Structure 1
């Protein structure tokens, strides 16, 4: 069907070219009849030469040659004495006709060559632009499906086709072929993958076919073979077309190989991160958990074995030690497990629409059981928008920040909530401010890393594992926000949590669900 359509199109074009040739010669003859009483035979020759030049630029080489001979015959028949015959009486007329024929053929040859070079240059420019556009599009492609779609579109633009792009399935190592694909094409694609070279017309392999089979990748790197392409209805002598198809396929293969390498690198990075987190967890068990466990075990053993010999004050001291160390163990274990879960989990958080006032209220109710001096001062505006968060994790974040602030200062700790507008939307800011010793510039770089305890912790003698701020940052990032440290003028630190607000709220501000 496709071959028949191509033949019909070629026949139609031939008829149009023939009509154009007749029009050019007819126009030259008509103008010559009008000018014949006023000009010489040489001037009439120039009119026919002009027609031949136009024919050379617009028609095929064969029709242009025919136009040269037809122009000489028309000039001889209509204007060279004796008129209305093909005879030539005088030798100078014969020389003029012969010269006109040679001139027309030379002009035709030069014009045809120039037109051919122009066409080649135009085609090369189009192909270069297509390669550039495909390279830009492939640079942004992030899935094999998108790469395949771009490759199919580029090949359909460059070649009449039909064209087939088949990719190897990463799991089954089989070509993903359309169900209605002819068996000959399927076999050709599989053979192309197996041999890793171009097959088809003009390649020396399966040259009797009118198709090209091009692998997506290099045979020397079997892992780099990502699929194959079939281009049908092509000419074996079209070397430039085959080179262009090979260039397109090379770019597609490189894009697929880049995606494969990116996936492997991401998997390797995830594995490295997992190993690091496991190392952190093991370090916590081997070091930070050992000391409080020893204290708890020693105190409990003393109470069990020497209960009758200990005074009430000593028993109370041991029980207090057990409670404190057990609380430290609980906090350390919770922070470690939470950090591992946030950094190594592929599942999304369990989010819901929550009120920041209620989250802060629950955190304060828990912390004020130990903050008997009620040093925490809050500034929370009324009718704040709802935030879509994991309330348990956000409570842990705010609680860790408040506990740290209470630990390192004897003054009041301020908890301030505000809204900040920017070009991308609105963020809710939760700031915990203290007047403690502050954090040095050196420690500010690593303060949010796991097991990082700055100089201020050592100077103050406060006990900690160095996991609290790392967990806080992980929780903030899991919610699409950020946690930053700012130094306060006059001394102290300010930890600012920034959470993006959704553009649409489930309820109007001030309205209860």
Structure 2
């Protein structure tokens, strides 16, 4: 709980009168010592000084009693006739009355000043707490952090018990199961009405706590229950409202940030899909036209075409259809993997089997047997989608076959908790500018006579990231490129069946 800066403690009621007696005794002793040398007015100032000290040290009861006792002591010990409570002179009577008024005024002013000082210190501490909370909330990145900071702030600012709860997605408050029914109803009502309830608010004044919404009407993110809640403590209620306003703003900021990121992701996804659709419509137009032309020629002029010409048209149809299949598969996979929700079918797979299946397919397009493979036995299993991993390796091999003419090396090696798949070629290599955008969609090499949609390496990168793997490119000494796929291997391996 926030407390004012430590002050000299006020004496307990039992000691209050001892302080009054001590001050009056000292004033009287000084009066007797000074009486031969000063006037009665000067002696009165000694008692006024005692009253001022009492007003500083004691509460208003003690200081008021000291003021009355000081006037009485001055009259008894020094005002003629001495040693009596009678006043023989009207002048002395007026002086004693004036002294009493001054003493009581000093007591009242000192008590008020102490009260205002304590309130000023308390307001300063509350302002510092608000400033510190605002700074901490600016760095909060989750609802749990905001909730923890809010609870700490309420426990620091008020004696408690205090309660803080956020609204769930269905609008209900996330309250403990054993919460008191009155507290539950108060917090639900303050969220529904988006208003402060409790003593001094004009709403539900019979409650023993303040119920404050976190946020403004239309976007209330939770509620707080603050105790104690005196109806007259307007400053305390305003401080609680300020704390809850900061918490509400922080929660609303987190929600806006989440909505903004979600909107940006959806916009990016829509833009990506539009780009892919535009690209595929452009890249499929030429092979489709070739297939339609070749099929039309075979259909309408088959009897007039020589067998070599018919074979050429059939080869063209098969080649263009294979190209269409590759472009379509790459585009669909890239769209799926670039979406906000990735759903991969990840099982325990053998990398030797995946590489073997890929080589069996790719070597049909490698009549020169340029691909040389090196895959050791007994490799650990990996967890992944075999179809996607096969497509990744096939794209790397197709890329090497397309952009190089020399031998191509496919190797698999085991590292600490990882398997590395490397595809090396002796092609012309890449410039620094080409390497910077190597894995971007629709980026194609500038080799003459080579066509493509520029999606193969982008799909490889997306598949690698979906598996928590890393795909890199490096230049080879002597020319060429090396693509390396580093796949993570889990330490807990399933038991293998013994043949």
TM-score by length of 1: 0.71
In structure 1, what is the Cα distance between the partners aligned to 2:346 and 2:489? 13
Secondary structure of the corresponding residue to residue 214 of structure 1: strand
CA contact (8 A) 2:55 2:63 kept: no
In structure 1, what is the Cα distance between the partners aligned to 2:479 and 2:443? 21
Secondary structure of the corresponding residue to residue 428 of structure 2: coil
Deviations 1:91-130 (A, max 9, x none): xxxx9xx99xx99996997699568636753674366347
Is 2:434 the counterpart of 1:435?
no
Deviation at 1:365, TM superposition (A): 3.2
Which structure: larger Rg? 2
Of 254-263 and 277-286, more deviation after overlay is shown by 277-286
Is 2:465 the counterpart of 1:484?
no
Residues 1:198 and 1:437: Cα distance change in structure 2 (over 3 Å): same
CA contact (8 A) 2:197 2:212 kept: yes
In structure 2, what is the Cα distance between the partners aligned to 1:147 and 1:353? 41
Written as runs of structure 1 = structure 2, the 5 A alignment for 1:318-397 is 318-344=313-339, 346-378=341-373, 384-397=379-392
Residues 1:501 and 1:110: Cα distance change in structure 2 (over 3 Å): farther
Is 2:488 the counterpart of 1:497?
no
Please list every run of 5 or more consecutive structure 2 residues that lacks an aligned counterpart in the other structure. 1-8, 36-45, 87-94
Secondary structure of the corresponding residue to residue 372 of structure 1: coil
Which residue is equivalent to 1:6? Answer: none
Deviation at 1:506, TM superposition (A): 1.7
In structure 2, what is the Cα distance between the partners aligned to 1:116 and 1:359? 81
Deviation at 1:330, TM superposition (A): 1.4
In structure 1, what is the Cα distance between the partners aligned to 2:377 and 2:53? 87
Deviations 1:472-495 (A, max 9, x none): 111111112332333445433333
Deviations 1:337-369 (A, max 9, x none): 111221226243222333444433333333233
Which residue is equivalent to 1:216? Answer: 214
Residues 1:150 and 1:392: Cα distance change in structure 2 (over 3 Å): same
Which residue is equivalent to 1:447? Answer: 438
Which residue is equivalent to 1:411? Answer: 406
Residues 1:237 and 1:410: Cα distance change in structure 2 (over 3 Å): same
In structure 1, what is the Cα distance between the partners aligned to 2:190 and 2:136? 31
Which residue is equivalent to 2:4? Answer: none
Which residue is equivalent to 1:291? Answer: 286
Secondary structure of the corresponding residue to residue 410 of structure 2: strand
CA contact (8 A) 2:187 2:223 kept: no
In structure 1, what is the Cα distance between the partners aligned to 2:266 and 2:372? 44
In structure 2, what is the Cα distance between the partners aligned to 1:388 and 1:86? 106
Is 2:142 the counterpart of 1:128?
no
Which residue is equivalent to 1:11? Answer: none
In structure 2, what is the Cα distance between the partners aligned to 1:87 and 1:512? 118
Residues 1:420 and 1:188: Cα distance change in structure 2 (over 3 Å): closer
Is 2:470 the counterpart of 1:468?
no
Of 273-282 and 381-390, more deviation after overlay is shown by 381-390
Secondary structure of the corresponding residue to residue 234 of structure 1: coil
Secondary structure of the corresponding residue to residue 340 of structure 1: helix
Q: Which is bigger in relative contact order (C-alpha 8 A, separation at least 6)?
A: 2
CA contact (8 A) 1:198 1:215 kept: yes
CA contact (8 A) 1:428 1:501 kept: yes
Secondary structure of the corresponding residue to residue 364 of structure 2: coil
Q: How many residues align?
A: 476
In structure 2, what is the Cα distance between the partners aligned to 1:438 and 1:215? 64
Deviation at 1:407, TM superposition (A): 0.9
Deviation at 1:277, TM superposition (A): 3.8
CA contact (8 A) 2:54 2:66 kept: no
In structure 1, what is the Cα distance between the partners aligned to 2:283 and 2:159? 70
Which residue is equivalent to 1:316? Answer: 311
Deviations 1:113-155 (A, max 9, x none): 5686367536743663475257526733424x66445534532
In structure 1, what is the Cα distance between the partners aligned to 2:20 and 2:487? 80
Is 2:256 the counterpart of 1:257?
no
Residues 1:248 and 1:428: Cα distance change in structure 2 (over 3 Å): farther
CA contact (8 A) 1:377 1:412 kept: yes
Secondary structure of the corresponding residue to residue 225 of structure 1: coil
RMSD over aligned Cα atoms? 5.2
CA contact (8 A) 1:342 1:474 kept: yes
Deviation at 1:335, TM superposition (A): 0.9
Deviations 1:371-407 (A, max 9, x none): 2333334455666554322222122112111210121
